[in-house]
C-alpha cells in the first residue's frame, strides 16, 4: 500500500511521552560574611623594680655623658637620664 502525500504514516507509541523536566531556579548564595578578627590583648607593662630603674638610669647617664664628651656636670647627665627612663616606663 502506498502512502499518499496527504496521509501521515501511523506511528505507534510504545512508551509514554516524557515531558522535559522544568528547570529549577538556581539558588543564589549569600555573600560570605567576614569574621571579625579578634583583637590582641593590650600588652601589660610590668612595673620595674627600683634597682632595675636605677641601673637603667645609670647606663643612660653614662651614654649621655659619653655623647657630650664628659664635659658637663654628672648630675645634669643623671637628671636627663631619669627623664628619659621615666618617659619610657609610663
Cα 82 from Cα 58, distance rounded (Å): 9
C-alpha cell at 11: 506511528
The answer as to whether 59 is a domain residue is yes
Tell me how many domains the chain contains. Answer: 1
Residues, the chain: 90
> What is the residue range of 75's domain?
50-88
Higher pLDDT, 15 or 86: 86
The answer as to whether 66 is a domain residue is yes
The answer as to whether 19 is a domain residue is no
The answer as to whether 65 is a domain residue is yes
Q: Give the model's pLDDT for residue 16.
A: 59
The answer as to whether 26 is a domain residue is no
The answer as to whether 2 is a domain residue is no
Question: pLDDT tens, 15-62?
Answer: 556 777 767 767 777 777 777 777 777 666 678 899 999 999 999 999
Instruction: Please choose, from the candidates 72, 64, 69, the residue with its C-alpha nearest in 3D space to the C-alpha of residue 81.
Output: 64
- How far CA 71 is from CA of 58, 68, 74, 88, in Å, comes to 17, 6, 9, 26
The answer as to whether 31 is a domain residue is no
Amino acid at each position: 500500500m502506498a502512502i499518499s502525500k496527504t496521509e501521515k504514516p501511523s506511528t505507534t507509541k510504545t512508551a509514554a511521552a516524557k515531558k522535559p523536566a522544568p528547570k529549577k531556579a538556581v539558588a543564589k548564595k549569600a555573600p560570605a560574611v567576614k569574621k571579625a578578627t579578634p583583637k590582641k590583648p593590650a600588652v601589660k607593662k610590668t612595673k620595674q623594680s627600683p634597682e632595675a630603674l636605677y641601673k637603667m638610669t645609670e647606663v643612660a647617664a653614662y651614654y649621655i655623658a659619653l655623647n657630650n664628651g664628659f664635659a658637663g656636670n654628672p648630675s645634669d647627665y643623671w637628671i636627663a637620664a631619669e627623664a628619659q627612663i621615666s618617659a619610657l616606663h609610663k
